[in-house]
């Protein structure tokens, strides 16, 4: 089967206005050559208010950089004040959307059913969901990380066909490693990423499992990315803090 193309996705969270976004995208593009951008898929995930600006700079300068949003509504349109729908994101050229980030699960009480509905909504509108799963410190200390993450995976993919699942990107983000400076060891990352792929093979089929890209996220930096990417079931990284610095994120994208 074709090797999985590495994916580096920068989750800006609630940082950078549209002027700052414009600058960061231009700096990032200037720091990476065409070969690098072709080999490693490079994606930014800005706040909603930056997406139109990012579209303009990416399309205007024909940059080989993808972009997407950090969340979407499970609904396609309607009376949902404050929400943003999949068709709106698709119209702005978004090719990715983060679904089920641990910060949304924790602060916005997103449960597995809602996360699953958002995965479905993204796929319906032709946007690749980056489905986040990950355990908290309590679960990790009990050794329950694999059971926890595979259960989150099962719940979010419930009712999807193998063809749909093959479109999904999964991100393993241990909650205790997000924004804490604590990185999972490469072996910790591989343990769960490998278990997630095995679960996909069990629930769907081997070919589908081999197509799905599985990212690691949690305090990824240019200094630790190579050892994480060396793991067989890690196909990329979801990067928070370090993606706000163009040169640092470019270094991460140049990991090979
Ligand atoms: C994230 O929030 O997706 C993340 C991985 O954050 P950080 O890299 O800052 O730990």
Q: Which of 135, 173, 191, 248 is catalytic?
A: 173
pLDDT at 16 over 60: yes
Topology of 7-253 in CATH?
TIM Barrel (3.20.20)
pTM exceeds 0.90: yes
- Using a CB cutoff of 8 Å and minimum separation of 24, what contacts does 101-110 make? 101/11, 101/70, 101/71, 101/132, 101/173, 102/132, 102/134, 102/173, 102/175, 102/178, 103/13, 103/178, 104/71, 106/175
Per-domain residue ranges for the chain? 7-253
Consult the annotation and say whether 12 binds a ligand. yes
| 236 in contact with ligand 1, CB cutoff 6 A | no
| CA atoms in the 13 A half-sphere facing the CB of 163 | 2
How many angstroms separate the CA atoms of 24 and 241, rounded?
13
Task: Give per-residue pLDDT as tens, 169-223.
Answer: 999 999 999 988 888 999 999 999 999 999 999 999 999 999 999 999 999 999 9
Q: Tokens 């470019």 — which residue?
A: 250
Q: Which of 101, 103, 110, 125 is catalytic?
A: 101
pLDDT at 139 over 80: yes
pLDDT at 250 over 60: yes
How many angstroms separate the CA atoms of 120 and 158, rounded?
10
Q: Is the ipTM of this complex over 0.85?
A: yes
């Amino acid at each position: 089967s074709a090797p999985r193309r590495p994916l580096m996705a920068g989750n800006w969270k609630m940082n950078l206005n549209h002027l700052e976004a414009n600058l960061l995208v231009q700096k990032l593009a200037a720091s990476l050559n065409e070969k690098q951008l072709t080999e490693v898929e490079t994606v930014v995930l800005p706040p909603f208010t930056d997406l139109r600006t990012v579209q303009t700079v990416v399309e205007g300068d024909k940059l080989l950089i993808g972009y997407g949003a950090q969340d979407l509504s499970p609904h396609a349109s309607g009376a949902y004040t404050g929400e943003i729908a999949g068709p709106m994101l698709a119209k702005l050229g978004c090719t990715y959307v983060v679904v089920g980030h641990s910060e949304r699960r924790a602060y916005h009480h997103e449960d597995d059913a809602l996360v699953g509905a958002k995965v479905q909504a993204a796929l319906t509108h032709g946007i690749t969901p980056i489905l986040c799963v990950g355990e908290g410190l309590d679960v990790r200390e009990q050794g329950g990380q694999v059971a926890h993450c595979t259960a989150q995976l099962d719940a979010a993919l419930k009712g999807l066909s193998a063809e749909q699942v093959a479109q999904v990107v999964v991100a393993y983000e241990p909650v205790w490693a997000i924004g804490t400076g604590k990185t999972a060891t490469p072996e910790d990352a591989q343990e769960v990423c490998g278990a997630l792929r095995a679960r996909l093979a069990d629930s769907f089929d081997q070919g589908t499992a081999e197509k799905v890209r599985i990212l690691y996220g949690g305090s990824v930096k240019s200094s630790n990315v190579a050892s994480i990417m060396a793991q067989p079931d890690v196909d990329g990284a979801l990067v928070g803090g370090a993606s706000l610095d163009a040169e640092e994120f470019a270094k991460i994208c140049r990991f090979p």
